[in-house]
Each structure stands twice: as structure tokens, then as C-alpha cells.
Amino acid sequence: MADYDPQFDFDASRYVRPDAVHRAVYTDPAIFDLEMRRIYGRAWLYLAHESEFKAAGDYVVRHMGTQAVVLTRDGQGEVHAIFNRCTHRGTTLCAFDKGSAPHGHQCPYHGWMFEADGALRFIPHHTNYDGVLDRKDYAIEQVRLETYRGFIFGNLSGDRAGPLVDFLGHMKTTIDDLVDRSPTGQVEVGPYALRHYYRANWKMTFENLNDTIHPGFAHAASVVSAKSVAATLPRDAVVPSLGMMMANGKPIQFFQDLDMITAPGGHSYIGGHMGADYTPNTQDAYTAALIAHHGAEKARQVLSVDRHVMILYPSSFWHARYQTVRILRPVRHDLTEMIGFTFRLVGAPEETYVNAVEYCTGANSAASPVISDDLEIYERVLLGNASGGRDWIPTSRAINEDRERTNAYTRTPATSEAYIRNQFAAWSHYMGQA
């Protein structure tokens, strides 16, 4: 256990150096508990998309760190977020991930009924409480929400947090990229979510998804298998999952030549490196639809953007080209859930959605030969760092290879660990504030 008072004293410099991090940040339950308060309790966290609430009463349950919240559209069309906890005995209100509650959320224990905004509307046999209980005192606290281009973010620190657009900074361009790929300017979330758990710390995924050195080693077997399958297919076949797996086999120099972008707040992305395209008829129809909506020049710009996974620290991962957003949910210091959503580009050919679903399946299904490699590695990292005499883990790869520095972002080779150093700069900032 850590030797600090988790309420007040935490010296982040004891755990983070410019070129290394202490293994305790992955293995110490007390540090995890403090992360939930100081990082997940302060950062803007992606929660949902407006298209998930088509009618009054529609709701979804999401997590902000270890706390569950219910997002519901009220009768006036506004979306609210309240904690998934009755103010009477603490019973969770919603047992399902999504549903409809047009008359409000009723506690299954004693029947207390709450509005979408958390107001306590009804108590059975309320005369028992006459002169004893003021309903206003038992409203469920609302979570502060802000929206960017239809994507809803929440913040547990209320008015103390700055605006969402400041948090997003340069990374809002990836959200723009996703929405602008729709030939109507609208996207909507698909009906299904892909989930998996892994037995390791939540930071492992953030440190893996922009890591370009590990694929050729950790995923070597799937690269060989994908090439073998691809050799049996027609040359013009489009199979996104195969493209994803074979991209992992590109030489390290290819990734060295790509750019990585890191931005304040722990955010990052690298240049695209997965080559799956649409079939010719779909590509032609999709391009024509984009031109009709945006004009030729803007359509060309939209199609020219090629980025791999954007890390929006500390809660989500975005791949605009494949219309996929993944949410990370920390459960314990050694248990994490990943939830993947695929978005439909409204007005685009159906193949664009099918293509995205296949990518999301390959990227977030526990059955994926790529993900299964990563999940084993995560667990082995946790096991290895739980014992032994080496306390410090180096994060120094390409530390002296910056290509460009601006106020908005820093550009480095995609083989750099700059994104991990950037994450721990944000980690230190959050964790050092009492």
C-alpha cells in the first residue's frame, strides 16, 4: 500500500520521472482509488451520443470511473445524467444498460420515483414522512454535461471544470473528422455494443493503442494467419479485419516515418496505417454523396484525413475512419472493461457501416485474435510488476526525437513513447491536486 494520506498528500514526482514510471501506478489499489477521485472525478469523460435517446424516457447507464450514472432524455428533449443510486437506501435504479422509462426511474426496493433530472417525484405512503422529510433534500445529484457535435461528455467536478472544448483542444478535430464523414452531417450509434474485460490496470490500454513497436511481436501469429487467408481471396476483396491484422506486420521503419501527435491533457493519435478500402461502387457512391453535401474541396479534405486511434485521456478511444468509439471503464486496479460502439454515417452506403462493424469486432471483441494477444500481455505486465526488485519502468523511447512543438500539440515519430510520457504528465497534474 502507498504511504500517503489519499485525501491530501500525494507527491506525483515519487511515481513519475521524465523518462520512467514506478510500477506501483499499475499495482497499488490505494493509487487506483485516488485516481478515481482525482482523475475520473475531474476530467471530462465521454458518456453517450444524442442518437441513443430517440424519445422521452430513453436512457442508458454508463460509468464515470467506478460510479454508475443514468442518462435520460426528458419530456422537453433535454438529456440529464444522475447517479444510478436511490437516495433512500442506495439501491441501483436501473439494472439494464439501456431502456425506456417515460414515467421516471422507480426504485425496485421501496418504490421511490425520480424524474430524469433527479427530482424525487413520488414516495409510496408519503404521509409517513409528513413533517419529517423534504423531497428536495432527496433529489439525486445531477452530473454536469456538455456536448460536442452530438457527443455527450460528463464531469463530476461540476462548475470547477473548464469548458469541454478546452479539454478537447486539438483532439476535437478527430471528432470533426468522424461527423464530417457523414454525407448528411449526422451520425447515429448502432444498436449493439461489444464488451470485454481484462485482468490488468486501466492504463494498459492507453499505453498500448498508440504503441507501434509491439504489433510485429505481440501479433505476429495473427499477421501470418491473415496473410495466409488473404492469399486465397480475390485481389479486389475488401476485408477490414484482415487489413487490420496485416497492418501489424509492417516494418518498424514504416512506423518511424509516421507522425505521432500528442496534446495537453494526455491525448494523442498517430497517422493511419490500415489499408482497407470500400468496394469501387460503394467508394464512388460515397464520394458523390460527400461532394453533394460538402462540395468537392471539403469532400476531398475529409477523405484525405487518415488517423489511427485517437486517445482521449482518460476515458475513450476514437477511430473516425472506422466510425468506432470505445469507452474504458476501470473496475479495480487489476480489472478493466472495454465497451465498443459503432456509428452509422447517416445517408452513406450500407457498406460503410458493415465495414465499421467488422473493424469494431476485430478491435474490441474478446474473440479477436488481435485483442486476445493484447489481453494476455496486459495480464502478464500486471503479474510481472507485482514482484521483483526493479521498481522503475522506462518510458524513454525516442525522448530526443521531437519533430515539431506548438502550443496545441507536439509532433514526434510514431515509434516514440511520447504519448505515454504525455499521459503521465496529465496523470501527475490530476493526481497532485488535493
- Cβ-contact 312, 318 below 8 angstroms: yes
Q: What is the pLDDT of residue 1?
A: 37
Q: What is the pLDDT of residue 362?
A: 85
Lowest mean pLDDT among 41-50, 193-202, 382-391: 382-391
The string of pLDDT tens digits covering residues 124-144 is 999 999 999 999 999 999 999
Alpha helix positions (H), 260-305 = 280-294, 296-304
Lowest mean pLDDT among 168-172, 230-234, 416-420: 230-234
- Cβ-contact 382, 230 below 8 angstroms: no
Cell matching residue 249: 506486420
Q: What is d(CA 52, CA 58) in angstroms, rounded to the nearest whole number?
A: 8
Residue range(s) occupied by CATH 3.90.380.10 in the chain? 169-431
Lowest mean pLDDT among 30-44, 174-188, 243-257: 243-257
Q: What is the pLDDT of residue 6?
A: 52
CATH code, 169-431: 3.90.380.10
Name every residue whose Cβ is closer than 8 Å to that of residue 386 and which is 6 or more positions away in sequence. Answer: 27
Query: How crowded is residue 314: how many other Cβ atoms within 10 Å of its Cβ?
Result: 25
Beginning with the edge strand found earlier in the chain, give each strand of the sheet holding 67-73 in spatial order: 79-83, 67-73, 58-64, 98-100
pLDDT value at 252 more than 70: yes
| Maximal C-alpha separation, the chain | 78
Cell matching residue 122: 413520488
Query: Comparing C-alpha atoms, which of 220, 283, 278, 289 is closest to residue 249?
Result: 220
**Fold designation for 45-160:** Rieske Iron-sulfur Protein (2.102.10)
Q: How many CA atoms lie within 13 A of 107 on its CB side?
A: 24
Cβ-count burial of 254 within 10 angstroms (0-12 exposed, 13-18 middle, 19+ buried)?
Answer: middle
pLDDT value at 9 more than 50: yes
Cis upstream peptide for 29 (omega within 30°): no
Residue range(s) occupied by CATH 2.102.10.10 in the chain? 45-160
Question: How do beta strands 392-394 and 404-405 pair?
Answer: unpaired
- What H or E segment, with its residue span, contains residue 342? strand 335-345
Q: The pTM is what?
A: 0.95
Q: Give 399 or 386, the one with higher predicted confidence.
A: 399
Share of the chain above pLDDT 90, in %: 84
The string of pLDDT tens digits covering residues 311-333 is 999 999 999 999 999 999 999 99
| DSSP codes joined into one string, 185-233 | S-EEEEEEEEEEEESS-THHHHHHTT-SSSHHHHTHHHHHHHHHHHTTS
The string of pLDDT tens digits covering residues 183-237 is 999 999 999 999 999 999 999 999 999 999 999 999 998 888 888 888 898 877 7
pLDDT value at 3 more than 60: no
Q: What is d(CA 145, CA 79) in angstroms, rounded to the nearest whole number?
A: 9
pLDDT value at 239 more than 80: no
Average pLDDT over residues 275-281: 81
Lowest mean pLDDT among 84-98, 335-349, 375-389: 375-389
